[in-house]
Structure 1
Amino acid sequence: MNLSDLAHSLDLLMFVAACFVLLSGFPVAFTLSGVALVFGLIGMAFGVFDIAFFAALPQRIYGTMTNEVLVAVPLFIFMGVMLERSRVAEELLDTMGKMFGPMRGGLGLAVTIVGALLAASTGIVGATVVTMGLLSLPTMLKRGYDTRLACGSISAAGTLGQIIPPSIVLVVLGDQLMNAYQKAQLDMGIFSPETVSVGDLFAGALIPGLMLVGMYIAYQLFIALIRPASSPAIPPEPGEHITFGRVLNALVPPVVLIVSVLGSILAGVATPTEAAAVGAVGSLLLAGHRLNPKRPIPIYLAGLSVVGLLILVATVDMRVSREVISGGDQIGIYAAYVLCALVAYGFLVALVRVLRAGVLQPVLEGTTQITSMVFVILIGAALFSLVFRGLGGEEMVQEFLSNLPGGTIGAILAVMLLMFFLGFFLDFLEIVFVVVPLVAPVLLQMEMPNGEPMSPVWLGVMMAMNLQTSFLTPPFGFALFYLRGVAPPEVKTMSIYIGVIPFVLIQIVALMVLWYLPEIATWLPKVIYGT
């Protein structure tokens, strides 16, 4: 065996060893870094690995620390945890369930719609599945819903956080694809490479995500039509009336938050990181109002001021260091000062309320834990990637994907199948941090199925939806484990598995539609950003 073959063998063994150690229950971040270190030392002993690759790790860590895009991760996590702990999601789910309940299949529709709203508000899959499993599943079973349909609806709606922006998956995936796209263009001899941003990926994922929501709703309405007993109508309780004001009170604040965050990104008013900060502030204001609704004026003023600031930024030149400032711009700047003061006042009021309610500390602890996990995994994945490349793994992957039968189609299918099966055992973070940097630079040099140059947005949306499908698929889908953990004892595991299969098939159909009609993902970014 020559040195090249030995290095490639070590690459494969490193990947197998990492999977084996992960399945044994060892922490992911330490598995990736530990296995990489061991195989790097083995490669040095055999003379097939250069220790200089280890020296690049501090630079990788520093690059992560100074990456402004990744600052959005803890902010979006804070937003999601705050909405979960302050019971904003619970109020929304309860109100929507009672509003749609009187129609046949109404509870299932409520679960799907709330799942989409929570996905656009939080982007945390586990929290959404657990929240809806705790709140909706007992109600659906008590009201005579088919157990399988109820479990499938909740699991599927909970995973919408993977694909509907703003999603943590899309933030991380967008950052990795940005680097991979630049590398792919440099490898093709393009020395003034184009860029792809997280905002592009958000715009690309919006229509496919809404398409998926529509397909879920269509399926539930179809089941309610052909099997009425599986999803009965629920008459309102005696004396209970869902007023228009109550619906607005539950629905408008999350929708305003979603529009402020996502709309500011798509309109080009704010970067994803800046929009994530808006979302974090908005979630705190929502929590403050939810915990003490009797004094809403400071919260309303702050919320309206945030919206006003976004409008001012979009319409007025807010730079104060200019030599010449027109009268209209000066008025806009003074108005911004006033609005900032109102936001600060409402923010402090909300902060005091969540602190007194005992919500702030667990939210900060949860945010810190999840954020630490994300970035420690990122560091471990960086070391794993360095050793993999140092052993010649990049050339091996490129040669393998290029020589697959079927050309581009075969390469994309192979990567999608790999990510699908890895989704049974690994979280999306490990898959995105480890697999995407290795395969994306190769795929992005190929063509899409319609013959056009490979779009990083289309590839990213396909990967995100593929991972979502993997997290739903029995017997190892993460969403199924989350639901199993909070489901009542009388719900059998097999009922969860069987109930989710129709939604998995819907996911596969959506992937096929996206495969043959890539414009579904690429049209909106072209309209908004011209890319």
Structure 2
Amino acid sequence: MPPEFMAIALFLCLCLALLVGYPVAFTLGGLSLLFAGLGVVLGNFDPSFFGALPSRLFGTMNNQTLLAVPLFVFMGVMLEKSRIAESLLESMSRLFGGLRGGLAFSVCLVGALLAASTGIVGATVVTLGLLALPTMLRRGYDPAVATGTLAATGTLGQIIPPSIILVLLGDVLSSAYQQAQLRQGIFSPQTVTVSDLFIGSLLPGLLLVGLYLLYLIGVALLRPHKLPAIPAEERGELKLLSLLGSLLPPLLLIMAVLGSILGGIATATEAAAVGALGATLLALIKGQLNLTRLREVVESTTQISAMVFMILIGASIFSLVFRGFGGEELIHQAFNSLPGGVVTATILVMLVIFLLGFILDFIEITFVVVPIVGPVLLMMGLDPIWLGVMIALNLQTSFLTPPFGFALFYLRGVTPVTVPTSAMYRGVMPFIAIQILMLIIAAVWPGLITWLPGVL
């Protein structure tokens, strides 16, 4: 059997096993080792490839970039426990509640602030759903618009930095960029960093929030019954000190984390450490920090970080075996033979990532698919920063798409049974259209992504 067939069979069996529900990390490593053993028996896999495995695993555990993952997770979980979202939403609701759609505007803005503070999609969707959805339904908001707004806003943590997906993509694309350069005979120290992706995603993320708000304004103007205003007597009095007290803590934290990166003062990993310390201090100031809560935050951070690194170890084994079977060369030849060249190849990869986002988590796609297609696309001339941000936008879209969108699963868990799932599906459709529009805008005007990193 030709080794290329083994590479294709390995990828298909992996997708099937993950679809059935086997644990991701152990499926990646175990299935790859099984195919490698079969390849040795059949004589189409060179076992000397495994000589590179120890250095790969050690490099993963010793990677300073990936140290940002547990630090950003710690920051996000700590902020979730410190009830900053609750006070933010209450203040914003009093500020905008007198307008038609005011609650929806508040949710969108608070979601953007939480995305820039935590970067964890599941936590943001669940938190906003628990805090805002009962109030929105009680005030007469259309269930479809309310749930669609909450699901879409909760996924902003995918694209607005500091985003966990951008940290992981930064590490994977850095390796892919170096591979592409070596295969082209280029020996340059230049690479792509997590900070580059953070800066590149800033303008698309802000534009996406603006498009969300424009859609909600349009609904409020054209169909006001779906987004009614809150009467003045029910809103309560808005006090300036209360508003500043809610807004300043997350804004200061965002400035400390993103400001240090934009100003070139700190790397993404160093900024993550600043964010973790800042979130802890905010929780302490608000009186939300005690030993019990600290233990919960540390345990949750450890669980999430361990899952990420186990998947990364399994993905390292998978990519090594896939390369040993000649899978990368097969993809390179296939992409070069496509009509339309790099444009067709990019569209095809984006479509595959979008479809895989229905059944796989963004971590699996980042560690399995991107290392395979990344070097090939970068050799074809794509900008690594543009490619990374486009993949992040694409994965964010798949979070919303029925019937397997992860954001919909998160929100369904905190949505009353009186709201049918079909209403949630209807609600996210306009936001999916906005996401696709954002992808088209970024594809037509790549400077939207690459301009700011070039300036800074």
Confirm or deny a common fold (TM above 0.5).
yes
Match in the other structure for 1:349: none
SS at match of 1:425: coil
Q: In the superposition, relative to structure 1, how do residues 238 and 443 fare at CA in structure 2: closer, same or farther (>3 Å)?
A: closer
TM-score, normalising length: structure 2: 0.98
1:22 to 18, 21, 25: 18
| 1:165-314 equivalence runs, <5 A | 165-237=161-233, 240-291=236-287
Q: Is the Cα contact below 8 Å between 2:156 and 2:205 reproduced in 1? A: yes
Q: Is the Cα contact below 8 Å between 1:98 and 1:236 reproduced in 2? A: no
C-alpha deviation, 1:26, in angstroms: 1.2
* Alignment partners' CA distance in 1, 2:339 and 2:106: 45
1:84 aligns with 2:18: no
SS at match of 2:413: helix
1:469 to 375, 393, 397: 397
| 1:136-175 equivalence runs, <5 A | 136-175=132-171
1:306-362 per-position Cα deviation (integer Å, ceiling 9, x unaligned): xxxxxxxxxxxxxxxxxxxxxxxxxxxxxxxxxxxxxxxxxxxxxxx422xx21111
The residue type equivalent to 1:483 in the other structure is L
* Alignment partners' CA distance in 2, 1:225 and 1:155: 22
C-alpha deviation, 1:193, in angstroms: 4.5
1:372 aligns with 2:315: no
Larger radius of gyration: 1
| 1:491-530 equivalence runs, <5 A | 491-528=419-456
Identity of aligned residues (%): 59
Match in the other structure for 1:309: none
1:483 aligns with 2:411: yes
2:131 to 115, 130, 135: 135
Q: 5+ unaligned residues in a row in structure 1: which ranges?
A: 293-352, 448-453
* 68-77 or 193-202: bigger deviation: 193-202
1:367-411 per-position Cα deviation (integer Å, ceiling 9, x unaligned): 000000000000011111111011110101111111112111110
Q: Is the Cα contact below 8 Å between 1:86 and 1:359 reproduced in 2? A: no
* Alignment partners' CA distance in 2, 1:238 and 1:43: 70
Q: In the superposition, relative to structure 1, how do residues 239 and 174 fare at CA in structure 2: closer, same or farther (>3 Å)?
A: closer
C-alpha deviation, 1:235, in angstroms: 2.1
C-alpha deviation, 1:240, in angstroms: 2.4
Match in the other structure for 2:61: 65
1:444-475 per-position Cα deviation (integer Å, ceiling 9, x unaligned): 1224xxxxxx2111111111001001111111
* Alignment partners' CA distance in 2, 1:521 and 1:82: 30
Q: Is the Cα contact below 8 Å between 1:411 and 1:443 reproduced in 2? A: yes
Question: Relative contact order (alpha carbons < 8 A, sep ≥ 6): 1 or 2 greater?
Answer: 2
SS at match of 2:123: helix
2:319 to 365, 382, 385: 385
Q: Is the Cα contact below 8 Å between 2:177 and 2:192 reproduced in 1? A: yes
Q: 5+ unaligned residues in a row in structure 2: which ranges?
A: none
Q: Is the Cα contact below 8 Å between 1:186 and 1:193 reproduced in 2? A: no
TM-score, normalising length: structure 1: 0.84
Match in the other structure for 1:52: 48
Q: In the superposition, relative to structure 1, how do residues 50 and 239 fare at CA in structure 2: closer, same or farther (>3 Å)?
A: closer
Match in the other structure for 1:409: 343
* 259-268 or 238-247: bigger deviation: 238-247
C-alpha deviation, 1:239, in angstroms: 8.5
The residue type equivalent to 1:520 in the other structure is L
Match in the other structure for 1:94: 90
